[in-house]
Amino acid sequence: MPTYKAISPNELLEIKEAYTELFDKVSPKFKGDDEENINEAFELALEAHGEQRRKSGEPYIMHPIEVARICFEEIGLGPTAVIGAILHDVVEDTQISQSDILDKFGPKVSKIVDGLTKIDGLYNNESSPQAANLKKVLSTLVEDVRVILIKLADRLHNMRTIDSMPRHKQIGIAAETSYIYVPLAHRLGLYNIKKEIEDIILKIKEPEDYNYIISKIKETEGDRKNYIQDFFKPLSAKLDKLKEDTNGRYKYMASENGDEALTFDYRILGRTKAVSSIYNKLKTKKVPFEKIYDLFAIRIIADVPIEEEKQICWQIYSIVTDVYKPIPERLKDWITSPKGNGYESLHTTVIGPEGRYVEVQVRTERMDEIAEKGFAAHWKYKGVNTSNNVYDRWLNNIREILDTQHSDAIEFLNDFKTNLFSEEVYVFTPNGDMRVLPKGATALDFAFDIHSDLGYKTTAIKVNNKIVPMGYKLQNGDQLEIITSKNQKPSESWLKMVVTGKARSKIRASMKEDRRAKGILGKEALERKLRNMKVGFDENVDLIVKHFGYQSRPDLYFDISNDDFKMAELKVFTVENQRLVPPAKEPPKGSPAPTDEQTKTSPKSAKTKISTNILVNDEPIDQYKYDFARCCKPVQGDPIFAYLTSENSLKIHRLNCTNAENLLMKYGYRVLKAEWTRLGNSEFIAELMIKGVDSGVGVIQTLTNVISNDLQLNMRSFSIKGKEGYFEGLISVLVKNKDQLKLAMDAIEKLDGIYEISRVEK
Ligand code: MN
pLDDT band at 391 (very low <50, low <70, confident <90, very high): low
Q: Which fold has domain 684-759?
A: Alpha-Beta Plaits (3.30.70)
Residue type, 760: V
Phi then psi for 460, rounded to 5 degrees? -155, 155
Rounded to the nearest angstrom, the distance between the alpha carbon of 85 and the centre of ligand 1 is: 8
Rounded to the nearest angstrom, the distance between the alpha carbon of 674 and the centre of ligand 1 is: 27
Rounded to the nearest angstrom, the distance between the alpha carbon of 193 and the centre of ligand 1 is: 16
CB within 8 Å of 220: residues ≥ 6 apart? 295
Rounded to the nearest angstrom, the distance between the alpha carbon of 154 and the centre of ligand 1 is: 5
Tens digit of pLDDT for each residue in 420-441? 666 778 788 888 777 778 888 9
Q: What is the mean pLDDT of the chain?
A: 80
pLDDT of residue 635: 87
Rounded to the nearest angstrom, the distance between the alpha carbon of 243 and the centre of ligand 1 is: 46
> Residue 35 in contact with residue 83, Cβ under 8 Å?
no
Rounded to the nearest angstrom, the distance between the alpha carbon of 71 and the centre of ligand 1 is: 13
Higher confidence at residue 694 or residue 302? Answer: 302
pLDDT of residue 381: 62
Rounded to the nearest angstrom, the distance between the alpha carbon of 48 and the centre of ligand 1 is: 14
Higher confidence at residue 586 or residue 311? Answer: 311
pLDDT of residue 584: 63
Task: Return the percentage of the chain with pLDDT > 90, whole number.
Answer: 18
Enumerate the β-bridge partners of residue 671.
643
pLDDT of residue 290: 77
> Residue 409 in contact with residue 133, Cβ under 8 Å?
no
Rounded to the nearest angstrom, the distance between the alpha carbon of 144 and the centre of ligand 1 is: 18
Q: Which fold has domain 3-205?
A: Hypothetical protein af1432 (1.10.3210)
Tens digit of pLDDT for each residue in 19-65? 999 999 999 999 999 999 999 999 999 999 988 999 889 999 999 99
Q: Where in the chain is the domain with CATH 3.30.70.260?
A: 684-759
Query: Of these residues, 92, 221, 513, 542, which one is catalytic?
Result: 92
Rounded to the nearest angstrom, the distance between the alpha carbon of 67 and the centre of ligand 1 is: 8
pLDDT band at 252 (very low <50, low <70, confident <90, very high): very low
Quick count: other Cβ atoms within 10 Å of Cβ 333? Answer: 16
pLDDT band at 259 (very low <50, low <70, confident <90, very high): very low
Question: Which of 62-71, 363-372, 527-536, 655-664 is the most confident on average?
Answer: 62-71
For domain 423-490, give the CATH superfamily.
Beta-grasp domain (3.10.20.30)
Higher confidence at residue 380 or residue 178? Answer: 178
Question: Which of 96-105, 416-425, 637-646 is the most confident on average?
Answer: 96-105
Give, as one character, the DSSP assignment of residue 195.
Answer: H
Q: Is the confidence at residue 386, as pLDDT, over 80?
A: no
pLDDT of residue 114: 85
Rounded to the nearest angstrom, the distance between the alpha carbon of 118 and the centre of ligand 1 is: 10
User: How many angstroms separate the CA atoms of 575 and 264, rounded?
Assistant: 97
Overall average pLDDT of the 273-299 stretch = 80
Q: How far is CA 127 from the centre of its chain?
A: 19
pTM listed for this prediction: 0.64
User: How many angstroms separate the CA atoms of 251 and 259, rounded?
Assistant: 9
Higher confidence at residue 328 or residue 159? Answer: 159
Overall average pLDDT of the 386-415 stretch = 66
Tens digit of pLDDT for each residue in 180-211? 888 888 878 888 899 999 999 999 988 989 99
Tens digit of pLDDT for each residue in 729-762? 888 888 888 888 888 888 888 887 787 888 887 6
Question: Ligand 1 being an ion, which residues bring their Cβ within 5 A of it?
Answer: 89, 154
Q: Where in the chain is the domain with CATH 1.10.3210.10?
A: 3-205
Q: Which of 34-43, 48-57, 330-339, 572-581 is predicted with the least confidence, judged by mean pLDDT? A: 572-581
pLDDT band at 520 (very low <50, low <70, confident <90, very high): confident
Rounded to the nearest angstrom, the distance between the alpha carbon of 430 and the centre of ligand 1 is: 50
Q: Where in the chain is the domain with CATH 3.30.460.10?
A: 211-385
First to last CA, the chain: 44
Q: Is beta strand 296-303 parallel, antiparallel or unpaired with respect to 357-364?
A: parallel
Whether residue 35 lies in the annotated active site: no
Overall average pLDDT of the 690-714 stretch = 78
Query: Of these residues, 93, 114, 514, 761, which one is catalytic?
Result: 93
Q: Where in the chain is the domain with CATH 3.10.20.30?
A: 423-490
Q: Is the confidence at residue 390, as pLDDT, over 80?
A: no
Q: Tell which CATH architecture fits domain 211-385.
A: 2-Layer Sandwich (3.30)
CB within 8 Å of 105: residues ≥ 6 apart? 37, 40, 41, 83, 87
Enumerate the β-bridge partners of residue 349.
359
Whether residue 24 lies in the annotated active site: no
User: How many angstroms separate the CA atoms of 673 and 679, rounded?
Assistant: 18
> Residue 472 in contact with residue 461, Cβ under 8 Å?
yes
Q: Is the confidence at residue 585, as pLDDT, over 60?
A: no
Q: Is the confidence at residue 150, as pLDDT, over 60?
A: yes
